[in-house]
Amino acid sequence: MIAKIFAIALLAISCTGPEQTETPRGGIVQVSPSELTLDFEEQETYVTVTADADWGSTVSDPSWCSVYPTGGMKGETKVKITVKKNLLTEDRHNTITFRTTSSKTELPVIQQTSSTGEAMFVPEGYKLFWSDEFDGPSLDADNWTCEIGRGSNGWGNAELQYYTDRTENVDVRDGKLVMTARKESYQGATATSARLITLGKVYFKYGYIVASIKLPKTANGLWPAFWMMGNDFKSKGWPNCGETDILEMGHSNGYNNRQETFLNGACHWGAPGHQYYAHDINNSYSVQDGNFHTFTCIWTEDKISMYIDLETYPSAKPYFEMTLKDFGDNEFRKDNFILLNLAVGGNFPGIWDINQVTALNNGPAEMEVDYVRVFQQK
């Protein structure tokens, strides 16, 4: 009897031994280091992901932080973390989550603000969605596509130029995008220039859209523009995709010594047929004075408003404003992409002969862009 009781006691002890930890069936994933604190500059750094199963990753705010590769197989993987320059007035925080099918590890990323006083203006109630500061050695192909050629009928406007991706026409220098119009014979055209689009790469619905631009002297015959179109352009075509012209200069109505102050905004849509609303102004000061000026579009579900130098003059009134509705194809309530171009001649300036483009009499003309930024409401 005593032996039987002893045997039962031994069995009980063996059943209640040290607790066993079972590895999740989907495997575990770990990352080293366990957190990142980076300075404000654009940069790349590396972490090591160790997993005993296939893994993937997500970034909570991919607008300024990216991961490569985004996933991997069992074992150790060296992963590159890329962050854009932080021009905000405060530190920013992100979280990168690495996952297997049954476990996850979060990597906190903190990027400090600039200590040099360099900071981005962020409109109240908004947060940065996307920007290009043109700080790299060349044009960022993840953001922009250079359109090539003469389009159909001079891009629909009888323009004279042939758009190229040559550095003679589009380049990034000293932190600026430089678009250059030249009087030259090229591919059957009498001038060359540049036109950039973010179609299919950067697109958004609603926001505070701003570009800082140093404009060339447009008198006479140059036509610089900063604008947007619906990202469904390829399927809908123009004008059903919708078009929002934030800035256009060089119109023939601005001749007689008003070229440096005369500008307009416009919206185009296509239901039924081509419809548009445009409004021009004679600004109180030159925006072709050799300095950078900001051109801003505040786009909501109900209204589009456009401003000059709003950051400098926060009480400025819009030079263009239009109430929005469903015009038939919701042209202004869907994703849009950004365009920048410097046209030569055409219907807008009312010049169709390169010899009448006096703006190029003294050589090439440049349109410089310091940055393009898109903010969205918090």
301-305-306 Cα angle (round to 5): 140
3-state DSSP call for residue 124? coil
Q: Which domains does the chain have, with CATH numbers?
A: 29-111 (2.60.40.10), 126-377 (2.60.120.200)
d(C-alpha 117, C-alpha 179), whole Å: 29
**What is the predicted pLDDT for the residue at 151?**
96
H/E element, 8:
helix 2-15
H/E element, 233:
helix 233-236
**What is the predicted pLDDT for the residue at 285?**
97
DSSP 159-218: --EEE--STTTEEEETTEEEEEEEEEEETTEEEEE-EEE-TTTS-BSSEEEEEEEEPPP-
Q: pLDDT digit string (tens) for 93-134?
A: 999 999 999 899 999 999 998 766 567 889 999 999 999 999
Q: pLDDT digit string (tens) for 136-171?
A: 999 999 999 999 999 999 999 999 999 999 999 999
From the list 266, 277, 316, the residue with the least C-alpha distance to 293 is: 316
Q: pLDDT digit string (tens) for 199-214?
A: 999 999 999 999 999 9
Tokens 């604008």 map to which residue?
227
> Mind telling me the catalytic residues?
243, 248
d(C-alpha 289, C-alpha 17), whole Å: 83
Nearby residues of 97 by Cβ (< 8 Å), 6 or more positions away: 57, 58, 59, 60, 104, 105, 106, 107
Q: pLDDT digit string (tens) for 344-354?
A: 999 999 999 99
Contact predicate 337/203, CB 8 Å:
yes
284: left (phi over 0), alpha (psi -120 to 50) or beta: alpha
Contact predicate 307/319, CB 8 Å:
yes
- How many CB atoms within 10 Å of residue 304? 23
**What is the predicted pLDDT for the residue at 153?**
94
Read off the DSSP letter of residue 69. S
**What is the predicted pLDDT for the residue at 21?**
44
> Which parts of the chain have pLDDT scores under 70?
1-26, 115-118
**What is the predicted pLDDT for the residue at 16?**
46
